[in-house]
Amino acid sequence: MKRKSAAPRVGILMGSDSDWEVMSAAAARLDALDVPYEVTVTSAHRAPRRTAEYARSARERGLGVLIAGAGVAAHLAGVVAAYTTLPVIGVPLEAGSLRGIDALLSTVQMPAGVPVAAVAIGKHGAENAAILAVQILAVSDEALAQRLAEFKEELRESMREAIALEKDFIRDCLPVNAVGLAVDEFLTYIDYIADRRLEGCGLTPLAAGIKNPLPWLAEMMDIKKEQNFFEGRVTEYQKSSALQAARDDEL
């Protein structure tokens, strides 16, 4: 079992040490929010007694939330939840031929009376598990609540930067007018997609009430593509020299 120096408030459990590649995302987010945690490897199947004892003693040891990551027949979170009254968050891990779907169903389909909060498969789920754990703790901790508010604002600021970069690229590098699109409408469309992304994250939109100026374009893009509009493209633009080259040409 690994511990941070301060008394841990969150317990991170995983069925195998190989799961750390994914579960480290939870630890990294807790570090960023300055929330102490402990990490332990225990299996619902290979070490059931150890798992049960860990869960039974968690509250007495000062933990407030438990995060359990497991793959395939992912019973770790459910077994832990059976032995504690603390909130348990399950992280389904991708392993085997079903790419994590089996773990997701094993984690989320708990019987009434033994709840497990399930997040997404993989690293995104692990990070969200950490954020959810902090949100639970922040209900009675004003300092944590403030840190979360600052984190949310950082998310909004990163979206602002992504929007600005995307708009610069469209103005300077894409022949939008040449293919019959109005630049202003296309830039507004970026704001529209950005707001959808923020709303999906539970954040306040940057341009509340904005309407889609290009509904036909939205119909051509599936939801997943729209949600990843910035994530999939902004990094490419940052890596390329196209934007800088266009600005150099203007000079």
Could you report the per-residue pLDDT of 26-47, keeping only the tens digit for each? Answer: 999 999 999 999 999 999 999 9
61-70, 168-177, 187-196, 209-218 — most confident range: 61-70
| Cα 169-173-175 angle, rounded to 5 deg | 120
* Token code pair at residue 8: 């841990």
Q: Predicted confidence band at 249 (pLDDT cuts at 50, 70, 90)? A: low
- Of 3-12, 63-72, 162-171, 224-233, which gets the smallest average pLDDT? 224-233
- % pLDDT > 70, the chain: 77
Residue 3 or residue 75, greater confidence: 75
The residue to which tokens 């750390």 are assigned: 20
Per the CB < 8 A criterion, the answer to whether 44 and 70 are in contact is: yes
What region, left, alpha or beta, does residue 91 occupy, with left being phi > 0 and alpha being psi -120 to 50 degrees?
beta
Lowest mean pLDDT among 3-7, 102-106, 140-144, 146-150: 3-7
CATH class, 2-140 region: alpha beta
CA 141 – CA 104 distance, rounded (Å): 31
Banded pLDDT at 5 (limits 50, 70, 90): low
Which one is predicted more confidently, 138 or 154?
138
pTM for the model stands at 0.73
pLDDT (tens digit per residue) in 60-103: 999 999 999 999 889 999 999 999 999 999 999 998 889 999 99
Residues of the chain with CATH 3.40.50.1970: 2-140
Crossing angle between the packed helical segments 20-32 and 123-138, to the nearest 10 degrees: 40
In contact, 48 and 40? CB cutoff 8 Å: no
CB distance 209 to 134 below 8 Å? no
Per-residue model confidence (pLDDT) at position 230: 47
Residue 122, both tokens: 């993989």
For residue 127, give both structure tokens. 């990070």
